[in-house]
Homo-oligomer: A and B are copies of this chain.
Amino acid sequence: MTAPSLGVEIGSLKLRNPLLAASGTCGYGVEIAHVVDLATLGGIVTKGLYMAARDGCEAPRIAETPAGLLNAIGLQGVGIRAFVDRVLPRLREHDTAVIVNVCGETVEEYAEVARIASDAPGVHALEINISCPNVKTGGIAFGTDPLMTRDVVGAVRKASALPVIPKLSPNVTDITVFARACEEAGADAISCVNTFLGLAIDVETRKPRLAFGTGGLSGPAIRPLAVRMTWQAARAVKIPIIGIGGIASASDALEFFIAGASAVQVGTMNFSRPNIYAEIESGLVDYLTRHHIGSIRDLVGTIRYPR
């Protein structure tokens, strides 16, 4: 038997393998290139970018919780122009797909960031961050209102010919409402999901453990919730889903594929296991070989539900 194929397509975006590094967990890619061979990834999603540079939240910004990480970074970043002018040229030297995580405080800003990113050579797709819980304007406000979701996605759709991938917030009653809003507004795929709004308190000081107060929960703790949402979203729309949340092994990634994801992103685990991709990739190959499945594409959405 020939080796199983790991190549996938997300709209017009072709990925050598379905493993992406999640936004905010791999910088702009260049930071990790000396430790991780970027060619072992399908692609990277940049840290969220607004028009302007941002300094983010005060420290402390991260706190560990059981099997989870709570963060409130606040989208610190260099701004889209500095990214395109100063970072992208270095990133282009690496053989990996580049997806820009697009942020904005207004619909117009999202569209403008998207336009600039689309015009830059070496950007392969746009992920629209309508789900960051750690900023006071924009972010999650767009991602928890279906009409605003539709408007932002529609505006970015008009501004760009690249694949447009809104990233959903899990902090909603019914994720399928938002998945459908994205599909109707012309999205090519959906990233599912961003972090869950959480709060951890230092009981000695009675202050939140993060300076911002609340934060976004990520890591293995949230995996069963993210798998459920991926499964719900995949059944609700025809466009591909990118599964995200707590992936720490090939088996974890397989849960998302079986639930209906066409690709996955690894987030928090990049911090402690930057070289996890090779391990996940070989685990996927093993699994597909063992189960006589020729391509990862044939596994997508094959959950036996109801049993």
**A interface residues with partner B (beta carbon < 8 Å):** 65-68, 70, 144, 171-174, 196-201, 203, 205-208, 211, 213-215, 217, 219-225, 227-228, 231, 246, 251, 254-255, 258-259, 287, 302-307
Contact = CB atoms under 8 A, between A and B. Distances in A.
Closest 7 CB pairs of A and B: A198-B224, A66-B220, A221-B221, A66-B67, A67-B67, A199-B228, A203-B254
A214 B222 CA distance: 14
B196 A225 contact: yes
B200 A224 contact: yes
Contacts of A206: 258, 302-304
Nearest to A246: B66
A65 B66 CA distance: 11
Contacts of A205: 304
A224 B201 CA distance: 9
A136 to B, nearest CB: 12
Contact of A171 (B173, B200, B304): B173
Given A67-B66, A220-B66, A201 B307 contact: no
A305 B215 CA distance: 13
Contacts of A246: 66
A228 B67 contact: no
A71 to B, nearest CB: 11
A174 B246 CA distance: 24
A222 B197 CA distance: 11
A307 B225 contact: no
Secondary structure dominating the interface of A: mixed
A206 to B, nearest CB: 5
B201 A258 contact: yes
Nearest to A197: B228
A294 to B, nearest CB: 16
A205 to B, nearest CB: 7
Contacts of A287: 203
Given A173-B144, A207-B307, A200 B255 contact: yes
Nearest to A211: B307
B213 A305 contact: yes
Given A213-B306, A258-B206, A224 B199 contact: yes
A217 B205 CA distance: 30
A201 B171 contact: no
Contacts of A306: 213
Nearest to A145: B173
A215 B196 CA distance: 18
B144 A201 contact: no
Nearest to A201: B255
Nearest to A217: B224
